[in-house]
Amino acid sequence: MRLTHVVRAGVAVAAAAAAALAFPAAASAHVTVNPNTATQGGYTKVTFRVPNERDDASTTKVEIALPTDKPIASVSLKPVQGWTAVAENSKLATPIKTDDGEITDAVSKITWTASADAAIKPHQFQEFDVSLGPLPVADQLVFKALQTYSNGEIVRWIDEPAAGAEAEHPAPVLKLTKKADPSAVASTGTAAGPAVEAKDDGSDGTAVGLGVAGLVLGLAGLVVGVLAYRRATPRTTA
């Protein structure tokens, strides 16, 4: 009887632990950018992944805001079947200087709208590819996102990351790393001296030859000693 209670208690604890582990997994299903790192000054292709968190509604529209205080000169969209993509431009407070001249406006928002059959159904997700560059010299880019459902609900993934706190509706964040310094790489490559080539001067062969000769002489001396001992030993007769 006591064993039955122990078993039941163990099952209850296991179920509670499973529920606790499952809750963060469900809560973490939000709009993300993949990969989440890129290099400053370079070009990259990112994918905005949008999961459907509702059981009774489909996602019909996705809006991604691009920061205008860290503008990106070139933005290209990959077509997604069943979705219409529209890129909106905004005037820049500070123009972007390029080799082709100054750029006074840049893409500030991208909106994808689904046809009736292409909406993201419950427990499904969709991906939207975007080419960006050159990326600004900054630590990160925050892309605030709005997700619209077929029942009219709008989920705002706009919370910026804060140290030591987990946002309830985090915005997609692209971390930017510094470009490697070519001069530093070159100096590192030349710092090491040329490899010293080992020369075969024959000393190893000579040592081996002397060793073999010594071994032969030692065996010969042993044989001579044994023969001398046998001759010096008197023979007994029956």
Residue 227 lies in a domain: no
Q: Is the pLDDT of residue 200 over 90?
A: no
Kindly indicate the confidence band of residue 166, based on its pLDDT and cuts at 50, 70 and 90: confident
Q: Is the pLDDT of residue 27 over 70?
A: no
Residue 139 lies in a domain: yes
Instruction: Work out how many domains the chain is built from and give that number.
Output: 1
Residue 33 lies in a domain: yes
Q: Is the pLDDT of residue 59 over 80?
A: yes
Kindly indicate the confidence band of residue 96, based on its pLDDT and cuts at 50, 70 and 90: confident
Domain that holds residue 113: 29-177
More confident residue, 221 or 142: 142
Residue 23 lies in a domain: no
Structure tokens at 221: 């001396």
> 173-177 and 37-39 as β-strands: parallel, antiparallel, unpaired?
parallel
Type of residue numbered 201: D
Q: How far apart are CA 140 and CA 173, in angstroms?
A: 7
Q: Is the pLDDT of residue 198 over 60?
A: no
For residue 40, the domain's CATH number is 2.60.40.2230
Residue 2 lies in a domain: no
Beta bridge partners of 132: 44, 75
Residues contacting residue 168 through CB under 8 Å, at least 6 positions apart? 159
Residues contacting residue 196 through CB under 8 Å, at least 6 positions apart? none
Percent of the chain at pLDDT > 90 equals: 54
More confident residue, 199 or 75: 75
Residue 222 pLDDT: 59
Q: Is the pLDDT of residue 52 over 50?
A: yes
Residue 171 lies in a domain: yes
Residue 213 pLDDT: 54
